[in-house]
């Protein structure tokens, strides 16, 4: 079942075009990620899906309704973690959650929820005394309190320490295991690789890549990086001509970037063996999602499309 359908979505704030013709679908039970740098249009898109913001153009269906007119029935099936939620800092964790639980017909038991997000030892602590990561976990609990079918998470782990981050990932995976549909935004590559079934990469309001996270690595030019060190006294000009032209210094060593790694590696190794030269710290690596992402977004900055 398709849970979300977005067709040619546009949103402008006055003269700022924040979202410029974005289309995608999210199926039931998927973890779907909107990936991109600050200002890419992730929060704007999410807020439109949540019904918190009016679009300027395009079609949007969320659980079969237009979120702009979704009303309470839709809202009860949707859980939301805002990028920054406003809650009363004087209330305790348990009080805040109980307050929100009262708004839903089928709310989860509050203490169960507190344990789920790892805040059991903060049950009685006032919200304003929580650390950034603990506060984010409270936000997550608020999103889950109504036992929603569809969960929106805007940068769910920003500000988390590594342990809290892994805890949140576990929680998101367990929600997926329960068949919930999750749409999250992130600017962390590894987070999207860890969690998402599919992702779109947004840059300046447009989709610049989409697919399963591992396939996003195929979206850009497939350059392999070959790195190595040379003995003292040898540098780029010692290399054979065809390697010299593609060699670049990198962190005290040399890097060859190529879309044809096999002949380049053969040429390098043949040259080294013939000369009795040991290549130190030789590594061969494909493009990381991070590199692909930087490449895609910088292409867009250069006015592509």
Ligand X SMILES: Nc1ncnc2c1ncn2[C@@H]1O[C@H](COP(=O)(O)OP(=O)(O)O)[C@@H](O)[C@H]1O
For Mg ion, which is the closer residue by CB, 24 or 152? 152
For ligand X, which is the closer residue by CB, 192 or 256? 192
For Mg ion, which is the closer residue by CB, 11 or 42? 42
CA distances from 248 to 17, 220, 254, 262, 299 (A): 38, 20, 6, 18, 21
For Mg ion, which is the closer residue by CB, 43 or 157? 43
Answer yes or no whether residue 45 interacts with Mg ion by CB under 5 A.
no
Residues 6+ apart with CB under 8 A from 74: 51, 62, 63, 65, 67
With contacts defined by CB under 6 A, how many residues of the chain interact with ligand X? 11
The distance of closest approach from Cβ of residue 84 to Mg ion in the complex, given in angstroms and rounded to an integer, is: 10
CA-to-CA distance for 67 and 129, rounded, in angstroms?
A: 35
The distance of closest approach from Cβ of residue 46 to Mg ion in the complex, given in angstroms and rounded to an integer, is: 8
79 binds, among ligand X, Mg ion, none (CB under 5 to 8 A by kind): none
Site for ligand X in 29-58 (CB under 6 A): 36, 38-44
13 binds, among Mg ion, ligand X, none (CB under 5 to 8 A by kind): ligand X
For Mg ion, which is the closer residue by CB, 44 or 193? 44
List the one residue from 31, 33, 43, 79 that touches Mg ion (CB under 5 A). Answer: 43
Chain residue whose CB lies nearest Mg ion = 43
The distance of closest approach from Cβ of residue 44 to ligand X in the complex, given in angstroms and rounded to an integer, is: 3
The distance of closest approach from Cβ of residue 299 to ligand X in the complex, given in angstroms and rounded to an integer, is: 17
For ligand X, which is the closer residue by CB, 18 or 81? 18
Residues 6+ apart with CB under 8 A from 299: 208
39 binds, among ligand X, Mg ion, none (CB under 5 to 8 A by kind): ligand X
Binding mask 183-222 for ligand X (x = CB under 6 A): ----------------------------------------
36 binds, among Mg ion, ligand X, none (CB under 5 to 8 A by kind): ligand X
Give the interface with ligand X as residue ranges (CB under 6 A). 13, 16, 18, 36, 38-44
Query: Interface with Mg ion by CB under 5 A: which residues?
Result: 42-43
């Amino acid at each position: 079942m398709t849970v979300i359908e977005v067709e040619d979505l546009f949103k402008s704030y006055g003269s700022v075009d924040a979202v410029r013709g974005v289309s995608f679908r999210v199926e039931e039970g998927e973890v779907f990620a909107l990936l991109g740098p600050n200002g890419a249009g992730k929060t704007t898109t999410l807020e439109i899906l949540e019904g918190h913001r009016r679009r300027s153009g395009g079609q949007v269906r969320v659980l079969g309704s237009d979120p702009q007119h979704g009303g309470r029935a839709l809202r009860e099936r949707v859980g939301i973690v805002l990028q920054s939620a406003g809650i009363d800092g004087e209330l305790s964790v348990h009080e805040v959650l109980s307050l929100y639980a009262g708004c839903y017909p089928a709310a989860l038991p509050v203490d169960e929820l507190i344990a789920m997000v790892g805040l059991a030892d903060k049950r009685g602590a006032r919200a304003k005394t929580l650390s950034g990561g603990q506060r984010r976990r409270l936000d997550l609990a608020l999103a889950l309190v109504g036992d929603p079918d569809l969960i929106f998470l805007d940068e769910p782990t920003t500000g988390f320490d590594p342990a809290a981050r892994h805890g949140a990932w576990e929680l998101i995976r367990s929600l997926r295991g329960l068949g919930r549909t999750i749409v999250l935004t992130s600017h962390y590559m590894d987070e999207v690789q860890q969690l998402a079934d599919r992702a779109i990469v947004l840059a300046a309001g447009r989709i610049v890549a989409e697919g399963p996270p591992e396939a996003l690595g195929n979206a850009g030019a497939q350059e392999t990086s070959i790195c190595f060190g040379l003995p003292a006294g040898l540098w780029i000009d010692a290399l054979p001509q065809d390697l010299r032209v593609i060699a670049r210094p990198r962190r005290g060593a040399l890097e060859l970037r190529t879309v044809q790694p096999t002949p380049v590696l053969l040429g390098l190794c043949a040259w080294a063996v013939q000369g009795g030269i040991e290549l130190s710290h030789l590594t061969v690596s494909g493009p990381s999602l991070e590199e692909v992402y930087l490449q895609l977004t910088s292409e867009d900055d250069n006015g592509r499309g």
